[in-house]
């Protein structure tokens, strides 16, 4: 074990909501219960190739998510459906887990959609736009 380093959870520049965000901002990652230093590209052992400064960077199209409310087949309860096209089953599972954590409510992946318990449309709009999605519907 190396020398421990204290990482503050609150920074004046921005708001940090979790320990993971605090570690990333300090250049660390959590692995096996211990904070490990993340290698920057300049420190890595990857050989340096030709410079790509002159080539234009491709602009990634912002991902879009559509929200809708569902009531049928839920025993009178309602849920908010999040449809994001172009995500694999693993990516949908990861999105579902991060939405459950961010919203503090239940969610599941069903038929290519993430179903979040309750009417969470307004909260989902805010969380998904912070994640980089363009949100429609709701």
Q: Is residue 53 part of a domain?
A: no
Asked whether residue 74 falls in the same domain as residue 133, the answer is yes
Q: What is the SS3 assignment for 8? A: coil
Whole-number Å distance between alpha carbons of 49 and 47: 6
Q: Is residue 50 part of a domain?
A: no
Q: Is residue 69 part of a domain?
A: yes
Whole-number Å distance between alpha carbons of 123 and 137: 13
Could you say which residues of the chain have pLDDT below 50? 11-13, 43-45, 49, 51-52, 54-58
Q: Range of 28's domain?
A: 9-43
Q: If you ran DSSP here, which 8-state letter would residue 45 be given?
A: S
Q: Is residue 56 part of a domain?
A: no
Asked whether residue 37 falls in the same domain as residue 77, the answer is no
pLDDT of residue 72: 85
Asked whether residue 25 falls in the same domain as residue 73, the answer is no
Q: Is residue 36 part of a domain?
A: yes
Looking at the 3D structure of the chain, how many domains does it have?
2
């Amino acid at each position: 074990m190396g020398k421990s380093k204290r990482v503050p959870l609150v920074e004046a520049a921005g708001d940090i909501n979790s320990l993971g965000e605090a570690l990333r901002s300090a250049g660390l990652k959590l692995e096996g219960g211990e904070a490990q230093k993340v290698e920057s590209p300049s420190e890595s052992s990857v050989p340096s190739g030709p410079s790509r400064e002159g080539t234009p960077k491709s602009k990634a199209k912002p991902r879009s998510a559509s929200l809708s409310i569902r009531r049928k087949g839920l025993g009178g309860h309602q849920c908010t459906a999040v449809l994001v096209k172009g995500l694999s089953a693993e990516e949908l599972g990861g999105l579902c887990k991060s939405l459950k954590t961010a919203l503090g409510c239940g969610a599941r992946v069903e038929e290519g959609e993430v179903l979040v318990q309750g009417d969470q449309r307004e909260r989902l709009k805010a969380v998904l736009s912070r994640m980089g999605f363009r949100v429609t519907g709701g």
